């Protein structure tokens, strides 16, 4: 890159032009930071040696109601946006609710659509809409990433360690969802022995912090996972589920929710709205509330660079 | 809108019949035993309404999902007495409660949603 100031200006220009659909994450030298989009600190820009990927979420393939009669069209618009990025992302992550009703035909259709994205891989984690009837079994028939017959996994890329978690199982009546002891034990083993300087990026559908408990917008045993993650110098948690961008920073851990590609949901506990059901907005507004996130891990930065872009901007 | 009715049947866990076909079958079966009394619970705005209901043994309870978000009717204990599939908007789930007892259930998709069915012989007199 020539002039970092120019890069930043360019990044901000892109940001203002794109406003809210996708977030681009860049990892450089293993440390994620947001490209101009989030946070109040100086923004970073992705260089050629950085790792950039895209987060999409909550496609709800199979949903056909008024809040968005064409979720396939919305996903295809997001795919076009991803292809238009100046820097080809290394991969795409989908943070859950791939399908609306966990039906095989929905998973099949989603898998075909995601295969249209010109990236090496699409990593997914299941949402609660993907685990309705038979837990994670139906989802795994289409999205068993490591062939181990379970929905959680990890991989290393660009100097960072990526962990995909499943926090839509272990549902107990009257409580928020949880990761469960088996998965927490796996996470502990997965992280043990890794250099604390390794940037960790966690993918999970439901927010890993409690945003609004009456709506189940949180993970009941997230604290136990955070205990395992906190020793690392850079931890970025990418969530979906609430169909809107929110973030929280706790020391070295930053947590971010993303927009949906299906329909908006109300703000947490919004006055006068007693439940987190799909919100019907005027057709001209829908595209401003759906979007993607570009993420980059920039060398020398501890924060990932993110840009949330809406489909309409 | 397509309405699907899921019926809990002892030998086949769940049989899906469209309501129209079900109605036609019933109409064509004049000799069958008297239909159980049917009571209803609505699933609306992420809640079971009423959340608590008391019925006589032999009562058929019918849940109807009015939300655009899928819900389930699932026993809270491991016995899986109530075990609906994911219900889309308009879908119904039915279960005939043969014996007395308390049947706590929840939505596995939204575990904050809970309900309970009390089956009591005195239910009719009490209410």
Closest CA to A29 of A41, A9, A46, A7: A46
Question: Are the Cβ atoms of B108 and A171 closer than 8 angstroms?
Answer: yes
Q: What are phi and psi of B30, to 5 degrees?
A: -65, -25
Question: Are the Cβ atoms of B76 and A173 closer than 8 angstroms?
Answer: yes
Contact A245, A256 (CB under 8 A): yes
Chain A residue nearest residue B74, CA to CA: A173
Chain A residue nearest residue B84, CA to CA: A133
Question: Are the Cβ atoms of A101 and B46 closer than 8 angstroms?
Answer: no
What are A69-87's pLDDT values in tens digits?
999 999 999 999 999 999 8
What are A259-305's pLDDT values in tens digits?
999 999 999 988 666 789 999 999 999 999 999 999 999 877 888 89
Query: What is chain A's percent helix, strand, coil content, to nearest 5?
Result: 25, 25, 50
C-alpha distance from B54 to closest chain A C-alpha (Å)? 20
- Residue to test with chain A: of B65, B106, B108, most A Cβ within 10 A: B108
Mean pLDDT, chain A, as a whole number?
Answer: 86
Report yes or no: A214 at the B interface, CB cutoff 8 Å.
Answer: yes
Residue B26: per-residue pLDDT? 47
Chain A residue nearest residue B116, CA to CA: A173
Nearest-CB residue to B111 (from A63, A102, A175): A175
What are A207-222's pLDDT values in tens digits?
999 999 989 999 999 9
As a whole number, mean pLDDT of residues A63-67 equals 95
Residue A2 in this model has a pLDDT that exceeds 50: no
Residue A5 in this model has a pLDDT that exceeds 70: no
Closest CA to B62 of B24, B22, B31, B33: B22
Residue A199 in this model has a pLDDT that exceeds 50: yes
Nearest-CB residue to A277 (from B68, B72, B106): B68
What are A77-121's pLDDT values in tens digits?
999 999 999 989 999 999 999 999 999 999 999 999 999 999 999
C-alpha distance from A74 to closest chain B C-alpha (Å)? 18
In chain B, residues with a C-beta closer than 8 Å to the C-beta of A65 are: 68, 89
Residue A191 in this model has a pLDDT that exceeds 70: yes
Contacts of A242 (CB under 8 A, 6+ apart): A207, A211, A217, A257, A265, A268, A276
In chain B, residues with a C-beta closer than 8 Å to the C-beta of A101 are: 70, 86, 88
Confidence of residue B7 (pLDDT cuts 50, 70, 90): confident
Chain A residue nearest residue B76, CA to CA: A173
Contacts of A73 (CB under 8 A, 6+ apart): none
pTM of the model: 0.83
- Residue to test with chain A: of B42, B71, B112, most A Cβ within 10 A: B112
CA dist A242 and A57 (Å) reads 10
Residue A3 in this model has a pLDDT that exceeds 50: no
Nearest-CB residue to B70 (from A101, A173, A213): A101
Q: How many CB pairs under 8 A join A and B?
A: 63
Confidence of residue B95 (pLDDT cuts 50, 70, 90): very high
């Amino acid at each position: 890159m020539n002039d970092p100031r120019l890069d930043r200006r360019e990044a901000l220009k892109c940001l203002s032009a794109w406003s809210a659909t996708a977030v681009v994450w860049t990892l450089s030298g293993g440390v994620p930071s947001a490209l101009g989009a989030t946070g109040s600190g100086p923004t970073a820009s992705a260089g050629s040696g950085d790792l950039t990927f895209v987060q999409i979420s909550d496609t709800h393939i199979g949903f056909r109601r008024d809040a968005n009669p064409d979720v396939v069209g919305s996903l295809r618009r997001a795919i076009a946006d991803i292809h238009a990025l100046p820097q080809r992302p290394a991969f795409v992550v989908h943070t859950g609710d791939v399908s609306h009703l966990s039906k095989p035909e929905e998973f099949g259709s989603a898998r075909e659509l995601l295969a249209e994205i010109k990236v090496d891989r699409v990593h997914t984690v299941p949402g609660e809409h993907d685990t309705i009837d038979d837990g994670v079994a139906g989802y795994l028939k289409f999205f068993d990433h490591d062939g181990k017959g379970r929905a959680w996994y990890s991989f290393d890329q660009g100097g960072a360690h990526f962990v995909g978690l499943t926090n839509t199982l272990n549902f107990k009546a009257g409580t928020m969802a949880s990761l469960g002891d088996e998965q927490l034990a796996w996470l502990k083993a997965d992280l043990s022995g890794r250099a604390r300087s390794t940037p960790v990026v966690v993918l999970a559908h439901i927010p890993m912090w409690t945003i609004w408990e009456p709506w189940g917008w949180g993970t009941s045993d997230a604290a136990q996972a955070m205990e395992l993650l906190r020793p690392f110098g850079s931890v970025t948690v990418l969530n979906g589920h609430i169909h809107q961008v929110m973030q929280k920073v706790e020391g070295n851990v930053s947590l971010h929710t993303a927009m949906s590609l299906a329909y908006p949901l109300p703000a947490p506990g919004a006055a006068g709205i007693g439940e987190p059901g799909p919100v019907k907005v005027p057709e001209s507004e829908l595209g401003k509330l759906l979007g993607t996130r570009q993420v980059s891990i920039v060398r020398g930065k501890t924060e990932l660079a993110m840009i949330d872009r809406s489909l309409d901007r | 809108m397509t309405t699907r009715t899921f019926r809990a049947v002892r030998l086949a866990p769940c049989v899906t019949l469209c309501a129209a076909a079900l109605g036609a079958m019933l109409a064509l079966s004049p000799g069958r035993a008297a239909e159980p009394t049917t009571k209803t619970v609505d699933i609306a705005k992420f809640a079971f309404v009423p959340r608590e209901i008391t019925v006589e043994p032999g009562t058929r309870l019918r849940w109807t999902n009015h939300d655009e978000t899928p819900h389930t009717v699932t026993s809270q204990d491991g016995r899986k007495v109530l075990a609906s599939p994911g219900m889309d908007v308009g879908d119904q789930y039915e279960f005939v409660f043969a014996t007395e007892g308390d049947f706590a259930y929840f939505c596995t998709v939204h575990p904050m949603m809970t309900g309970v069915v009390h089956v009591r012989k005195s239910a009719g007199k009490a209410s």
